[in-house]
Amino acid sequence: MTEPIIKIDAISKSFGTFQVLDGLSMQVMPREKLALIGPSGSGKTTILRILMTLERIDAGHIAIEGEQLYHMPKNGGLIAADERHLTKMRQKIGMVFQLFNLFPHMSVIDNVTLAPMLTKGVARAAAEKRAMELLDMVGMSEKAKAMPAQLSGGQKQRVAIARALALQPKIMLFDEVTSALDPELVEEVLNVLWKLCAETDMTMLLVTHEMGFARDFADRVLFFDRGKIVEEGKPDELFRNPKQERTQTFLRKIIAAGHRV
């Protein structure tokens, strides 16, 4: 039997006195395409940031490919992971954010080569060769020498995807990557996600308000509210026939806001 690539076990997370996650558990299988949907503030970004080790957890465990993310074995027990362990584990995961966070003072290709050169000690020539392949994959090789400020939002997101792929992650996290884009630029970014889906066997977790895309793309949809999974299922079932009232209300609002479901 195949083991989950991500195993989240009873994690909790508070910001000050505000508890965002309270004993959340979920699992993701290798190659699975998962859509995380739910109202603003329900904890979707927090979950991705925790997986990316940008936030720590207060309680619980996370295993990536069977290996603890925030813990490491010692004397037969588990202790908190040190920075070295986190750095190693982080390389399995790539993330693309809602707001393009390219390094503004670096060219497109330097954005993509930076992490492999810095964290993996890849030589410049090899890093650039690989970067050009990735930029080609996202349709941005002609802009390799451009600066981020010269790009459209859709182009910036495509470069951000290439940059996240440069460390050859097994898991990719996408946090509302089209939300900040002008409508006519959304498609070019979604097309890249389709391409990743077709050409790689990465596991992908996608927070999105693009319900039409989620329905076509995802193997499974999780609906979050207040840090909890209220409902989950295959996209066709969940979108066509949501069982929980909170899911129904959310989907009604999304449609009223002009999103295609």
Ligand X SMILES: Nc1ncnc2c1ncn2[C@@H]1O[C@H](COP(=O)(O)OP(=O)(O)O)[C@@H](O)[C@H]1O
Q: Which residues bind Mg ion (CB under 5 A)?
A: 45
How are beta strands 6-15 and 18-28 bridged, if at all?
Answer: antiparallel
Q: Stretches 1-9, 34-42, 137-145, 151-159: which one binds ligand X (CB under 6 A)?
A: 34-42
Contacts of 194 (CB under 8 A, 6+ apart): 217
Measured CA to CA, the distance from residue 30 to residue 33 in angstroms comes to 9
15 binds, options Mg ion, ligand X, none, Cβ within 5 to 8 A by partner type: ligand X
Q: Which residues pair with 36 in a beta bridge?
A: 207, 222
Nearer to Mg ion, 24 or 81 (CB): 24
Nearer to ligand X, 56 or 240 (CB): 56
Nearer to Mg ion, 48 or 93 (CB): 48
43 binds, options ligand X, Mg ion, none, Cβ within 5 to 8 A by partner type: ligand X
Among 17, 40, 183, 199, binds ligand X (CB under 6 A): 40
Measured CA to CA, the distance from residue 112 to residue 157 in angstroms comes to 12
Cα-Cα-Cα-Cα dihedral sign, residues 242, 248, 251, 252: positive
Binding mask 4-33 for ligand X (x = CB under 6 A): -----------x--x-x-------------
Measured CA to CA, the distance from residue 39 to residue 211 in angstroms comes to 13
Nearer to ligand X, 16 or 66 (CB): 16
| Contact between 95 and ligand X per CB under 6 A | no
Among 28, 32, 35, 44, binds ligand X (CB under 6 A): 44
Q: Stretches 38-46, 151-159, 182-190, 194-202: which one binds ligand X (CB under 6 A)?
A: 38-46
Nearest to 93 by CA among 8, 5, 170: 170
203 binds, options ligand X, Mg ion, none, Cβ within 5 to 8 A by partner type: none
Contacts of 42 (CB under 8 A, 6+ apart): 224, 225, 226, 227
Nearer to ligand X, 56 or 145 (CB): 56
**b/e per residue, 172-191, with b = 16+ CB within 10 A?**
bbbbbbbeebeeebbebbbe
| Contact between 41 and ligand X per CB under 6 A | yes
Q: Which residues pair with 67 in a beta bridge?
A: 64
Q: Stretches 39-47, 77-85, 150-158, 184-192: which one binds ligand X (CB under 6 A)?
A: 39-47
| Contact between 46 and ligand X per CB under 6 A | yes
Is the backbone of residue 258 left (phi > 0), alpha (psi -120 to 50) or beta? left
What would the two tokens of residue 72 be?
């490491």
User: Which residues in this chain contact ligand X in the complex, by CB under 6 A?
Assistant: 15, 18, 20, 38, 40-46
